[in-house]
Structure 1
Amino acid sequence: MKKSVLSLIVGIILIGRVYAQETKYLVFEFIKVETSQMYDFIEHKDFMEKVYQSAVNDNKILGWDFWSLQSGADEGEFQYITITYFKDPVTMMKGLTNEDIIKYYMIANPHLTEKQVSDKLEAASSTHDLAQRSYMQQVSSTKDNFKMKKGVLASFDLMKAVEGKFLDYENAEKEVFMPIHQNRIEKGLMGSWTLLRTALPFGSEAKSTHLTMNMYADYVQFFNALEYDEMESTVEQRTAVEKGLKSRDQKWVYLATLQSLIR
């Protein structure tokens, strides 16, 4: 009896560890850069790639992406999106401290002193504005072998669940929409799909509660997906889709191209 109970406890712990390993935490930063500051910002971004690589090597973060916006926002709103990947919510909320950044910057540039690095970082902060930051938790994703590489496309769809229908919306994404995306992936019309939930508490005035990441290998795959018609869907499936659409408000769609990634 004791062995059975012990086995059950061990099994629960292992399942919890597997789940924790599969759950990712992402921080999205929407960045605005003035035209006159573009060159200095790109130079700063190139330096920061080395910083994030050192952070990955130090197991501080899981990865970092740099996306350039193709459409979805006014030109003056923001032009770039960065995504930093973390293994758990605690490290996500702590993020990279200023001390961490200085340390990793000096690893990448050993000829610089701490004072020189601090001065460079302070000067770099004036090259851009952080328009928005979102802390997200992965809820579900498709089964695929999509490989992230420079040049891939992503559609970032910001959603707001209808008040009182939070779980209805998530269930609709997982039970109705995810199978549709999975089918498209198997037909070569999509790379991958992920549903993310806002990881921080929010109120009724929050701009969005969820975000979906729709990945495509290139523009050919993206436009083929747009033209694809779900001809095989049944009446019941179309009814479920219609019901699912009523559980959320699609606030905005951003199309972006991956310019850099660190893993």
Structure 2
Amino acid sequence: MKKILLIVAVFGMVLSVVYGQQSRYLVFEFIKVESNQTYDFIEYKEFMEKLYQGAVNDKRITGWDFWSLQSGADPSEFQYITITYYKDPVSMMNGLQEEDLVRYGMIAHPHLTEKQVREKLNAAYNCMDLAQRSYMQEIAHSLDNFQFKKGTLASFDLMKAVEGRFQEYEKAEKEVFLPIHQNRIEKGLMGHWSLLRTALPFGSEAKSTHLTINVYKDYVQFFNAQEYEDMESTAEQRAAVEKGLKSRDQKWVYLATLENAIR
């Protein structure tokens, strides 16, 4: 059954490309670093940024983010999140292979030989542990012109739709919660919002089925948003919100700060 669900999910992503829908495809990597390897990991980050910039320039990816967690996860679980953006599901599933990274490494560091670039890549991978990787498709987002910059704050809310209420949950996010977030953005209480559907891992054992990203330009905007109460909402709207909340289980909320965004 899980295999059938996976095939349906991937087939659905391919169809979205065939019919020309505008979607973004994102790969999340949750990274754990031991305290005695922090310095080495900083070097890894600086080295990899140049390689991913090369991939953006080559149009293999559309962007790469590096986030550091502020709260929401046990430090022994992971402390960083990277997001790689792709234009279609095929590119996402193919990803960037080691040969690609070596090539971009040699372009970014022309003084290094291929062997030296490979050695730096291996050293980079050895200083971290990939705790989890998730493949996702963006299925809804707010209308805004928010620019992701260093210091941007975001909460990553992992959701699991209640069994049998998958479509109901997505409808609630798009028709109930998106307008609420759009209103906050227009009031200057938020920068951006998006809803993502998990492509892999998929199935009943998956930790989450969806992810919402709530983006704020800084802590001032974040705390102002937490204190805001919409006194204009109607009883009907509040009932719709309550119904929407019951269609999913909010598994975890991770608060993170953007260290770098490559576009």
Q: Same-fold call, TM > 0.5?
A: yes
Note the residue ranges of structure 1 that are not aligned, 5 or more in a row. 1-15
- Whether 2:133 is the aligned partner of 1:130: answer no
Partner of 2:3: none
Structure 1 vs Structure 2 CA RMSD: 1.4
Partner of 1:41: 41
Deviation at 1:101, TM superposition (A): 0.4
- Whether 2:15 is the aligned partner of 1:22: answer no
Identity of aligned residues (%): 75
Q: Which has the larger radius of gyration?
A: 1
Deviation at 1:19, TM superposition (A): 7.3
Correspondence list, 1:78-93, <5 A: 78-93=78-93
Partner of 1:107: 107
Partner of 1:168: 168
AA partner of residue 46 (structure 1): E
Deviation at 1:201, TM superposition (A): 6.3
Change (3 A) 1:201 1:27: closer
Change (3 A) 1:44 1:140: same
Equivalent position SS for 1:199: strand
Deviation at 1:148, TM superposition (A): 0.8
Deviation at 1:20, TM superposition (A): 3.9
Equivalent position SS for 1:75: coil
Partners of 1:112 and 1:147 lie apart in 2 by 34
Partners of 2:23 and 2:242 lie apart in 1 by 29
Count how many residue pairs are aligned between Structure 1 and Structure 2: 248
Note the residue ranges of structure 2 that are not aligned, 5 or more in a row. 1-15
Partner of 2:245: 245
- Whether 2:146 is the aligned partner of 1:146: answer yes
Partners of 1:130 and 1:41 lie apart in 2 by 13
Moved over 3 A (4+): 16-21
Partners of 1:199 and 1:205 lie apart in 2 by 13
Q: 2:17, 2:88 within 8 Å by CA — same for their partners in 1?
A: no
Tell me the TM-score normalised to structure 2 length: 0.92
Partner of 2:214: 214
Q: Deviations over 1:168-199 (max 9, x none)?
A: 00000000000000111111100010000012
AA partner of residue 23 (structure 2): T
Partners of 2:205 and 2:258 lie apart in 1 by 31
AA partner of residue 260 (structure 1): N
- Whether 2:231 is the aligned partner of 1:231: answer yes
Q: Deviations over 1:237-257 (max 9, x none)?
A: 010000000000000000000
Q: Deviations over 1:215-235 (max 9, x none)?
A: 001000000100111211101
Equivalent position SS for 2:200: coil
Deviation at 1:29, TM superposition (A): 0.4
Moved more, 149-158 or 115-124: 115-124
Partners of 2:254 and 2:94 lie apart in 1 by 27
Partners of 2:201 and 2:156 lie apart in 1 by 21
Change (3 A) 1:21 1:55: farther
Partners of 1:199 and 1:76 lie apart in 2 by 26
Change (3 A) 1:194 1:19: farther
Partners of 2:18 and 2:228 lie apart in 1 by 35
Partner of 1:177: 177
Equivalent position SS for 1:190: coil
Q: Deviations over 1:96-129 (max 9, x none)?
A: 0000000000101111111111122112211000
